[in-house]
Structure 1
Amino acid sequence: MAALAAQSVALAGSVPTYAAAAGGGDTAPVGSNLLLHVINGGGSSVTVTLVTPGTSGGLAIADAAVAVAAGASAFVPLRSVYRNSVTGRAAITYSGVTSVTAAVLRLP
């Protein structure tokens, strides 16, 4: 499991650094101006899942799952609902990691 760090996006533009998606999943900071950008360079669709650790009325809140088609990318807001109370970070898993990269972007 890798701990992804947030990278600030400058108003003039930025070229973020992407990390290979970890087979055991990744963690990321959460916040209203943070996005997870996942690029699927593989030949089949990959599902990116963000664990939602909370409950509502005693019932578990469903995890967020985003399908990223082969050769496509997706942006996922890293909202506070994904914050783990112990680590303070979001837990992210991938259904496959071959040719999948990710970066956490902090918007200005």
Structure 2
Amino acid sequence: MAALATIEIATVAGRPDLDTDLVAAASGGDTAEVGDGYFLLVKNGHASASRTITIDTPGTVDGHAIANATLVVTTLDYGIIPLTNLFRGTTGRATITYSDAAANITIAVYKIGK
């Protein structure tokens, strides 16, 4: 698993170009910081197949496991997932995996500054 770097951004007016920060998703999965203001940006660059992003949800409620979070990103589209403390694993980071060994997926982790 690769540890994704967090990019801090200030709240901005207009439309920032977040594409410039995207990196290739690791075929074995990635980890990311979690907390208030953190989010994962995913771009599916595949022209004919959707990709599924899965974030482990390690907690339980009344002894029952919480289902992992998934996001399906359609062809040539983007997805955003807030990285809340719900996803904090034993390492203090979220564990992220991808369908199809991360083929054609680029990602970035952001934290919105104050």
Structure 1-normalised TM-score? 0.92
Task: Check if 1:35 corresponds to 2:64.
Answer: no
1:68 is the counterpart of 2:66 = no
- Greater helix share, structure number: 2
* Deviating 4+ runs (over 4 angstroms): 12-16
Residue by residue, what CA displacement relative to the aligned partner does 1:19-52 show, whole Å, maximum 9, x if unpaired?
1111110000001100100000013100000000
Give the Cα separation in 2 of the matches to 1:11 and 1:63. Answer: 29
User: How far apart are residue 14 of structure 1 and its match?
Assistant: 6.3
Aligned pair count reads 107
Unaligned runs of 5+ in 2: none
Percentage identity across aligned positions? 44
> Helix, strand or coil: the match of 1:93?
strand
Cross-structure match for 1:6:
6
Q: Distance in 1 between matches of 2:110 and 2:76?
A: 20
Please provide the CA RMSD for this pair.
1.4
Instruction: Confirm whether residue 26 of structure 1 aligns to residue 26 of structure 2.
Output: no
The equivalent residue for 2:99 is 95
Stretches of structure 1 lacking an aligned partner (at least 5 in a row): none
